[in-house]
């Protein structure tokens, strides 16, 4: 009986460890930015670019980073809210 329980627990742990995270689409945008975007280059400060520049960058780079549509939307909103022109009327200086 102990052996059966031990193997059952090990099988359950192995299944959980190999499963993708349940909240993968709702991941923290900053963590997503740091993990996905820095795998190929340094992380740029969100305020180092305008909203238009970040939008263009994400359009080009989201497929390379293998972002889901939900991750793309969350990351885009996070970066655009922190862009250099985020606090200006209409997003332009």
What's the rounded mean pLDDT across residues 21-36? 74
C-alpha 20: how far from chain center: 14
* Collapsed DSSP state (helix, strand, coil) of residue 39: helix
Residue 84, number of CB atoms within 10 A of its CB: 16
Residue 19 DSSP symbol: S
Using CA of residue 27, residue 16, residue 66, residue 69, what is the dihedral sign?
Answer: negative
Tokens in use for 93? Answer: 């200086």
pTM above 0.85? no
Q: What confidence tens digit (pLDDT) does each residue in 75-84 have?
A: 999 999 999 9
Q: What confidence tens digit (pLDDT) does each residue in 32-63 have?
A: 999 998 888 899 999 999 999 999 999 999 99
């Amino acid at each position: 009986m102990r052996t059966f329980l031990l193997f059952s627990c090990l099988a359950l742990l192995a299944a959980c460890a190999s499963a993708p995270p349940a909240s993968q689409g709702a991941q923290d945008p900053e963590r997503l930015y740091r993990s996905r975007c820095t795998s190929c280059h340094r992380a740029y400060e969100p305020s180092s670019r305008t909203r238009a520049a970040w939008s263009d960058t994400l359009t080009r780079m989201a497929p390379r980073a293998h972002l889901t549509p939900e991750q793309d939307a969350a990351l885009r909103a996070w970066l655009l809210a922190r862009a250099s022109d985020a606090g200006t009327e209409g997003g332009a200086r």
